[in-house]
Structure 1
C-alpha cells in the first residue's frame, strides 16, 4: 500500500470534519496477558487506514482551522536499551515514508502541544473514534483521553469520528481490493491442502494444520479470525472454535476461515465429506445451500441492503425445504437458518457497516447461506467474497471448489 493512499484517506476525512475542530486517533497498545507477557499487538483499523502504521503507541492528530488542515504523527522516542530487547522503535523518517505525513513529533510532546492549541484558538469539537457507544464497551485509549478532556475542557464537544471513517472505508480502492484478492488466493491454497489431506480418524486441529502451514509459508502473519473446523453435529454451532474432536467416517466437516494480508481479510466457508463422498441426504441438503448462494449472488445489486439480501436467501431456503418436506411454512426456516447471509469485509472481517446500509459499487461483502439440521447432525455453510459492481457483483473466490462434483473429485483424486 502506498503512502499516497493513506494521505488521500486523511484528506477525505479532513474534508468531512467541521471547521475549528481537532481529531485524535490512537494506534492502540498490546493488551496485557499475564505476568510480564502481552498479547500480540494489532493496530486500530481506523488508525491503520489513515496512516499505514502498525506500531503501538502512535498518535495521529489532525487540526482543521479556517479551512486549513494540519496533521501530526506522534511516535515514541528512540531508546537504545529498549532496542536491545524489542527492536528499534518507529523512526520519524519511517513514519513519514509509511504515512505520507510530514510533521512528526515525539509522544512525550503530545500533551503540551495539545494544550497549546487551545491557547491560540477556541476549537469547538474534538473527534475521537469509538467503535461502540454501548455502556459496557471495553475501555480504549480514546475513552481514557475523552475522560481527561471532559475534566479539563468541559466546554469542548466530543464527536465520534467512527461513522465518518466507516463511510470512507465502505468503498474499497483498487489497492485495497488487491490486498483482499491476495488474502483469498492464500486461503484458496490452504483449502486445497485441506481437501487433499482430509480423512476419517484425523482430529479437527490436524486438518487445520494443513491450512495454517500454507498461510505461514505464504508469509501471512495472522489469520483474519479464529478458524472454525467443525465436524458432524458440531457444525450446527455457528462459532465452534475448539477444533479438538475427531473427524469420523460418514460425517461432513464445515470450515470457516481466512487469511489476512496487510490486515485485509478473506472469509470463506466450505463444507465437505470427511471420507470424500456425500451421502444422498448430505448432497440433497448441500445443493439446497448451494442454490441459495447462487441465487443470492445473482440478486446482488447496488442500492440493496444486507437485510434485503438475507430476505432473498430465506425465501430460497424456505422454498427448497418445503419442496423436500423438511418444513411446511416459510417462517419455519428460522429453525434451520439463524444468521444473516452477508456482512461487509475489509480491514475487519466483519467490516464497518450494518444491515441497513445500502451496498454500493466497490463494497466488498460476503454471501454465506447455511442450513443447520441439528436433528440430523448436519451443518452446511457455503461462503464466498464478492465485490459489488455497477450492475451486480464479481465473485472474488471462484477458484475455491464448491460443487459436489469438484469437491469429491479433489478429495478422491488427492
Structure 2
C-alpha cells in the first residue's frame, strides 16, 4: 500500500468494541468487496469494504473475517480468511499478504489466519454453536445499489446452506461504531486533509483565464499521488461559471473564462480515509463586488453553522437553524423578500431555491460516512460544513466546505489552515 503502516491496535480495539454490542452466542461474518469488471478483461481499481477494513486493516480482495466471541474454543473467536497466493499470482498480480504479515496488520495471531479454500471446513466448526448470525448489507440512506455485491451473494448462500439460523443486521452496529472516530483515526483523516491543503495551494498558483477544468484536475491528481494518496476521495467537481450551479458536475471539460468563479469540490484519500473540501475562487484572481458579496454571505453561514456543531445537538434541528441563517443572508443579497419568507410554507422554505442541499454529513472511511441522523451529536464525530448559494440566472455558484471534529469542549476545524478568507485567496492567486 502507498500509505504508511497503521497501528494494529486500532483494529484490535474496533473488533472488541463490536463484540461488546452483540447478542449472546453471536457470530459475525464480514466480506471484502469484489473486484468490479469494466469491459473485456478489464477491472476497476479495488476498493476495500469499509467495515472489513475498519475491523482488520486488510486492504486486499477475497478476504473474510469471522467473529464468535463466545465460541468454546478460543482459536475460533476471531478468524481471518485470506486469498492464498501462488507463484503465478505473484508474477501476474504481485504480492499478497502472508499469514505473518496479516498478524502484523490485524493483530490476530497467525494460528487464527486461514486460506479462503479452508473456509467451509473451519466455519462448520463455528456456525452450529451460534444462535445469531450477523451479516452485512449496505444500509446507507443515500445508497442506490443496482449490482449484486459479495455481501448479497453471501447472504443468499448462507440462507441456502443454513436455513434455520437467525440472521441479524450488522449495519446498524457498524454505523453506531464508525460514527465516533477513534484517536488513531483522526490523524489519518488529518493526513488526507493536509494532502488536500497542499493540492489547493498548488491550484491557487495555477488557475488563470484560459485554463481548462481538466488541466486543473491533472494538477490536483499530481499533488495527491506524490503524497501517498491513491487519488481523489470522490469524483472531483471542477466547475467554472454556470457549471458551478450543477451540484454534481463532474465532466470537468470546459475552459475557464476571465470573470468567472470556479467551484472546486475536491478532497484526497489516504489509507481509505477521506477529506472533503470545497473552495470557490475567481479565475482571474480577483472577485467582483457581487461575487465577493455572495462569497462572504456563504462564509458567514459556514462560520455560524460550524459553531452549531456541538455535543447534544440533533441533525434536523441543526439544519433548520442553518436554514434560518441562510434566509437572512439571501434577503441581504436581494435574492429573497423578507415578507415572502415570513409567509412561506415551513415545509418548503424559499431558501431552497438557492441552497438546495444539506449543510453537513458524516465523514470518515466513506466521504458520506455512515451514521444515524437521529442520534445526538457526540464527541469524536466528524462532519463536513458546506453551505452554498447557487444563482443560475447570474451563472454564479459558491460553496465553501471544511471538515470539523466535535470534542467535549467544542469543535476543531481540521481544515483551519487551508486558505478561506477573500483576502488570503486573492493574495495567493497573485
| Alpha-carbon distance, 1:135 to partner | 9.3
Which of 225, 233, 254 is matched with 2:242 structurally?
233
Corresponding residue SS for 1:372: strand
| Alpha-carbon distance, 1:232 to partner | 0.5
Aligned partner of 1:377 in structure 2 is 395
Distance 2:191 2:96 in 1: 29
Aligned partner of 2:223 in structure 1 is 214
Are the equivalent residues in 1 in contact too, given 2:232–2:268 (CA < 8 A)?
Answer: yes
Aligned partner of 1:130 in structure 2 is 137
Aligned partner of 2:103 in structure 1 is 96
Distance 1:76 1:298 in 2: 47
Corresponding residue SS for 1:182: helix
Aligned partner of 1:73 in structure 2 is 80
Distance 1:118 1:373 in 2: 58
| Alpha-carbon distance, 1:307 to partner | 2.4
Aligned partner of 1:361 in structure 2 is 379
| Alpha-carbon distance, 1:332 to partner | 1.4
Are the equivalent residues in 2 in contact too, given 1:270–1:381 (CA < 8 A)?
Answer: yes
Spell out the pairing of 1:172-321 with structure 2 (5 A cutoff). 172-321=181-330
Measured against aligned partners, the alpha-carbon deviations of 1:172-202 in whole angstroms (never above 9, x if no partner) come to 1221100111111110110011111110111
- 64-73 vs 391-400, which deviates more? 64-73
- 308-317 vs 41-50, which deviates more? 308-317
Aligned Cα RMSD in Å? 1.7
Distance 2:117 2:427 in 1: 61
| Alpha-carbon distance, 1:12 to partner | 1.1
| Alpha-carbon distance, 1:233 to partner | 0.5
Distance 1:400 1:66 in 2: 50
Which of 57, 61, 66 is matched with 1:56 structurally?
61
Corresponding residue SS for 2:239: strand
Distance 1:267 1:92 in 2: 35
1:47 to 2:52 alignment: yes
1:339 to 2:346 alignment: no
Distance 1:278 1:86 in 2: 50
| Alpha-carbon distance, 1:323 to partner | 2.4
Aligned partner of 2:33 in structure 1 is 28
| Alpha-carbon distance, 1:355 to partner | 3.1
Structure 1 340/145 Cα, relative in aligned 2: closer, same or farther at 3 Å? same
Are the equivalent residues in 2 in contact too, given 1:224–1:266 (CA < 8 A)?
Answer: yes
Distance 1:33 1:137 in 2: 15
Are the equivalent residues in 2 in contact too, given 1:79–1:89 (CA < 8 A)?
Answer: no
1:85 to 2:92 alignment: yes
Aligned partner of 1:409 in structure 2 is 427
Distance 1:58 1:245 in 2: 42
Q: Name structure 1 gaps, 5 residues minimum.
A: none
Which of 1, 22, 47 is matched with 1:17 structurally?
22
Q: Give the TM-score normalised by structure 2.
A: 0.92
- Size of the aligned set, in residue pairs, is 410
Q: Name structure 2 gaps, 5 residues minimum.
A: 1-5, 342-348
| Alpha-carbon distance, 1:58 to partner | 0.7
Are the equivalent residues in 2 in contact too, given 1:23–1:61 (CA < 8 A)?
Answer: yes
Distance 1:64 1:178 in 2: 30
Corresponding residue SS for 1:24: strand
Distance 1:377 1:108 in 2: 58
1:161 to 2:170 alignment: yes
Aligned partner of 2:346 in structure 1 is none
Structure 1 397/135 Cα, relative in aligned 2: closer, same or farther at 3 Å? closer
| Alpha-carbon distance, 1:136 to partner | 5.4
Measured against aligned partners, the alpha-carbon deviations of 1:344-369 in whole angstroms (never above 9, x if no partner) come to 10111110114333210111111000
Measured against aligned partners, the alpha-carbon deviations of 1:193-213 in whole angstroms (never above 9, x if no partner) come to 111111011100112222211
